[in-house]
DNA sequence: CATTTCACCTGGTGGC
DNA sequence: TGCCACCAGGTGAAAT
């Protein structure tokens, strides 16, 4: 479920029930399925060894819940004397944190159930595809410092500087968490459409003007998506079980063959960085190398059939 | 090095 | 109805 707007929404729906609370129990479900594969499944999701995970999480209070790119950082404070410990969760593709009123698994692929010192509420973690990860970490773990800036915090100048340095196609850059943290396939495609930039454009060749437009589009797209609680494409829900609504605003993502909302030309799909990439062939023209002379045509546009 | 491709999983969908 | 190919929000390791 997880790009920046979805994770942000999950974090916001986690805070009220978590902050100030004490984790009283950690139930790790080795019995999610019926055969011996369940414990292997748990090992894929849980990076920290089971016993250590259970032991270190029980007791301390939740100080804060933060988003770091697509990561959820649940900060715990044991006491003044002990160092801060955090629970770091990445939802991967299908990870889900959900408030439930029962301590028993409510759906297949439930891997962990947290009990709190609040009566009648349990936090369930489930993840069918198991691309998600849970682990305990100390204060500022190294894996988080390798991430790039937050797209909502970076300045325009810094964004342009980083873009200029890179040679890769702009779409694959947007997916690179060391370039910017938090964008994924949906918001990369949607931001490029709003900026009218072809996804295969080489980053270093974007003009300042186009880079500025991309910067604005990314921020506008993310902020609009957060305001609508993220995109529920197949099964995403926030921790309260509610879907988001931004999927209704998608202009290109998963709209292959359907008319562009702006110009009616059918949306196309190509593969970049191994990911389905959706774009409008008319609104997002590929910037061809300027053929200075040669054909005698002006360097700019020509009717250009696909 | 920077950049691209592939493997890791389950589940849903659409063609035959 | 079943079977199969393909697609899906993620990343890191391996290959180029």
Q: How do residues A144-159 score in pLDDT, each as one tens digit?
A: 999 999 999 999 999 9
Query: Average pLDDT, whole number, for chain A?
Result: 90
Which of the nucleotides in strand C have any atom less than 7 Å away from a protein CB atom? 7-12
In this prediction the pTM is: 0.92
Q: Does at least one atom of strand C sit less than 7 Å from the CB of A2?
A: yes
Structure tokens at A250: 């998608």
What CA–CA distance (Å, rounded) separates A61 from A59? 7
Place of tokens 């682990």: A135
CA–CA distance, A281 with A200 (Å, rounded to integer): 12
DSSP, collapsed to helix, strand or coil, labels residue A238 as: coil
Cβ of residue A39 near strand B, that is under 7 Å? Answer: no
Q: C1' nearest to CA of A108: which nucleotide?
A: B10
Three-class DSSP category at A219: helix
Whether the CB of A151 is less than 7 Å away from nucleic strand C comes out as: no
Residues of A annotated catalytic, as ranges: 2-3, 70, 275
Distance A148 CA to B15 C1' (A): 43
pLDDT surpasses 70 at A227: yes
* Residue A102 confidence (pLDDT): 97
Does residue A124 reach within 7 angstroms of strand B, measured from its CB? Answer: no
Q: Which tens digits make up the pLDDT trace of A165-219?
A: 999 999 999 999 999 999 999 999 999 999 999 999 999 999 999 999 999 999 9
Report the C-alpha gap between A19 and A71 in whole angstroms: 17
CB atoms within 10 A of CB A133: 19
Q: How far is the CA of A288 from the C1' of C10 (A)?
A: 32
- Class of residue A131 by CB neighbours under 10 A (exposed 0-12, middle 13-18, buried 19+): middle
pLDDT at A57: 95
A58 touches strand C (CB under 7 A): no
């Amino acid at each position: 479920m997880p790009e920046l707007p979805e994770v942000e929404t999950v974090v916001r729906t986690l805070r009220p029930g978590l902050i100030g609370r004490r984790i009283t129990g950690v139930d790790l479900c080795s019995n999610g399925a019926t055969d011996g594969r369940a414990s292997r499944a748990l090992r894929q999701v849980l990076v920290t060894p089971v016993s250590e995970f259970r032991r270190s999480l029980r007791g301390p209070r939740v100080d804060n819940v933060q988003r770091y790119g697509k990561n959820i950082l649940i900060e715990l404070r044991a006491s003044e004397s002990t160092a801060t410990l955090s629970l770091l969760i990445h939802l991967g593709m299908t990870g889900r944190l959900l408030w439930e009123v029962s301590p028993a698994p409510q759906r297949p692929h439930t891997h962990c159930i947290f009990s709190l010192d609040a009566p009648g509420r349990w936090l369930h973690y489930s993840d069918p595809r198991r691309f998600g990860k849970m682990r305990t970490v100390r204060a500022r773990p190294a894996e988080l410092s390798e991430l790039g800036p937050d797209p909502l915090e970076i300045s325009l100048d810094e964004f342009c500087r980083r873009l200029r340095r890179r040679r890769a196609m702009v779409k694959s850059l947007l997916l690179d968490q060391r370039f910017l943290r938090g964008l994924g396939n949906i918001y990369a495609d949607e931001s490029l459409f709003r900026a009218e930039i072809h996804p295969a454009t080489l980053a270093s060749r974007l003009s300042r003007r186009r880079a500025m437009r991309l910067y604005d589009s990314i921020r506008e797209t993310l902020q609009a998506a957060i305001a609508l609680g993220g995109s529920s494409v197949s099964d995403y829900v926030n921790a309260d079980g509610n879907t988001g609504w931004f999927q209704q605003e998608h202009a290109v993502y998963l709209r292959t063959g359907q008319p562009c909302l702006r110009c009616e030309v059918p949306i196309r799909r190509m593969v970049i960085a191994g990911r389905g990439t959706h774009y409008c062939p008319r609104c997002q023209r590929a910037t061809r190398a300027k053929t200075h002379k040669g054909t005698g045509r002006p360097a700019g546009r020509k009717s250009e059939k696909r």
